[in-house]
Each structure stands twice: as structure tokens, then as C-alpha cells.
Amino acid sequence: MTQQPNLQSIDGQSMNLTDHNLEQLKQLFPNVFTEGKIDFDALKSELGAHVEKENERYQFTWNGKEQAKRMATTPTLGTLRPAPEESVNWETTENLYIEGDNLEVLKLLQKSYFGKVKMIYIDPPYNTGKDFVYKDDFKDNLANYQRLTGQKDDEGNPLTTNSDSSGRYHSNWLNMMYPRLKLARNLLKDDGVIFISIDDNEVHNLRKICDEIFGEGNFVAELLWKRRASSAMADNNVSSDHEYVICYQKGLLKGFSGIEKDFKSYSNPDEDPRGDWVTGDLTVGMTASMRPNQAYDLIDPETGISYPHNPNRVWAYIPESMNKLIQEGRVIFPKDVEKRPMLKRFKNELKSTFNPFSS
């Protein structure tokens, strides 16, 4: 975050997101507002060819989706209450720990942290049938976290776990996730990212709602990690050992650094002024019939020794390019004719000092 996250810096009242969105739209298209209301015909005219005109289109929907959307924009009347007696180093800490229903808290953070968060990580319920509790009527109110983990609220309304026998098994989970992800996106900086842990139960649905909320083009990666050892008791002898971390960007991510390369193998035994180097392969996995112009005998200009091409793995360069590399002192010819010439690859010519990490 860009500022010290202490309770004094947080506005305790929630932000009216509908008013905020209207103000942004008014800045872009002031002419589509008439007496404070949106003229959708005028807005469609401004958007031109980008307006969808077909009645049938690809979309992802479920029971309760519209209510879930409204939940994201409905202000909360909740407030944040400081608890210095339960805190450590209250006056000097740069950390902020908030306990409460996460939907209410996300709404309360909108005013102070809208567009200011660099990275968000969430570990939501995986929807295994036991790991989260929801209200049967999908309504969200000021009920706090402690009530949501019980079986009934203070008014006696029943709360139930999301059993996989429920006809709204996936819908219940989506209705819980949608407003929270919508609010989380608001908190991200333009170059911010969000990481979300999930397993096989809802990874497909999580990708779909994130595509809608963050945009398909802002999908970064689906990272796979092994959570457990294989089980001999697995159904169908297929052990589900892996889980996922889904990553989306807000919109302007320049990229991850990756994993720093190991330069231990680089050295400069011949004191080349270009610096440390490592040997690289001078061939490619192409046959002579596939690359006939790269199938030739390579001759060391100093010794006259000829190194025949491998018909199953030709040289990586055509003769003209290879001769240029030789003139630049980039080709190492071995004294043993049974060995192959190698290419000098210089450290200072690397495009990056990092390797991409694998998903």
C-alpha cells in the first residue's frame, strides 16, 4: 500500500461505489447525462460499433448473479472499531489487521485504499461442501463474522453449509465470491495484481468470474503447486495432489521479474574484453533435409580442420552468419576433432538476468 496502514488513516464509513462509477462515466461522456440520469441511447451512440446488438451472446450466468452484483455496490453502515488493547505496538506499527466479515471490511476499505494496493492474495473457501456458510436468502447485512460461522443468526434465520447436494451448489459459491472480487479489484493500483488460491472444485468457475471482473486480457497465469503426496486410497486410482493459484492483473502490469539466473558457470578464462561468457550449442534440432542451407562442413580458419555437419542436427546458422560469428571470435573450435565447435554466449548480452518461472 502507498501509505502507512493505520486505523487513523482509514475512513470508517463505506464508499458509495455507484456514485463513484457515475462520476467516472460523467467525466468520460458528460453529454449522456440528462437531469442527472443516463441517456442509454446517447451512450450507445458514443460507443458506436462496440455495442453488442445481438440478443444471443456468450455469457456466464447463474442464479443470484444480479443480486451478487448489487451487493458489491450497496454501501455498508458498518464502521471500524479500534482495539488498541488487543494490538501490539499500536502507536508505531505499520501493519493493519482487521477482524470481521470480509465483505463488510472490503466495503469499508474502498474510501481510503481505492486504487492504492499493489498486490492482493486471498485464500477463499474451496467449496468442498463443508468449508463455508451462507445465508439461504443470499442477503448480506451487518451480521459479523462470528454469527456467520454459526448455524443460526440472532434472529433465528437458518444458516447452512453449502452441501454438494444443494441444487445451487455452484451458484451459492459464486454469489459469495463475486462481490468480494469486484471490491478487491477496486483496491488494486493500475499495475496491481491479485493471487487467488483454489482447487479443482471451483477453478473453472473462478476463471470465468475473474475473466468478467478483471477482463480476459488481464489473465496472467494459472500457477500449479503440489499440495500433498499421492494417496493410495484415491478414487479411480487418480490422486488429486495439486491445487492452483490464479493470477490476474488490474491492467498495466509490466511483468514479473522471474527467477534470477545462476551465473556460476560464467567465467572469462581467455580475458575476453567482452567479459564473462559461457559456451552454448551451435546446432539445432533440424535435419539436413529440413534445413539444407545449414548442412555444411564447418572449417576452422586457423587450423584448416573440418567439422562435418550432423545430418540429424544441423548448424544453427547459415554460412554467412556463421562466418561473421567466427570473425567476431565467438566460435570456439576444439582441439579434439571428435568434439563439436561451441558458441560463446556473453553475460552482458543477456536480454534479462532472470528466467521465467514455470506455471
Rounded distance between C-alpha atoms, residue 29 and residue 31, angstroms? 5
Residue written as cell 550432423? 310
Phi first, then psi, for residue 63 (nearest 5°) are -70, 120
Q: Which residues have CB under 8 Å from 193's CB, separation 6+? A: 118, 119, 120, 220, 247, 248, 249, 250, 253
Query: Residue 222: pLDDT above 90?
Result: yes
Domain boundaries, the chain: 7-256, 261-359
Query: Residue 359: pLDDT above 50?
Result: yes
pLDDT in tens, 120-142: 999 988 777 655 555 544 444 44
- pLDDT score for 142: 40
Q: Which residues have CB under 8 Å from 59's CB, separation 6+? A: none
pLDDT, greater one: 147 or 16: 16
- pLDDT score for 209: 96
**Which element (helix H / strand E) includes 193?**
strand 188-198
**Neighbouring C-beta atoms of residue 328, cutoff 10 Å:** 10
Q: Which residues have CB under 8 Å from 117's CB, separation 6+? A: 1, 187, 188, 189, 192
Phi first, then psi, for residue 118 (nearest 5°) are -80, -40
Cell triple for 155: 434472529
Q: Tell me how many degrees the CA angle 285-290-293 measures, rounded to the nearest 5.
A: 95
Least confident of 26-30, 42-46, 294-298, 310-314: 42-46
Query: Residue 52: pLDDT above 70?
Result: no
**Neighbouring C-beta atoms of residue 254, cutoff 10 Å:** 7
Of the options 3.40.50, 2.60.40, 3.40.1000, 2.40.160, the CATH number for the domain spanning 7-256: 3.40.50
What mean pLDDT, rounded, does the chain reach?
Answer: 82
Of the ranges 34-38, 50-54, 136-140, 177-181, the best mean pLDDT one:
177-181
- Give me the mean pLDDT over the 236-264 stretch: 84
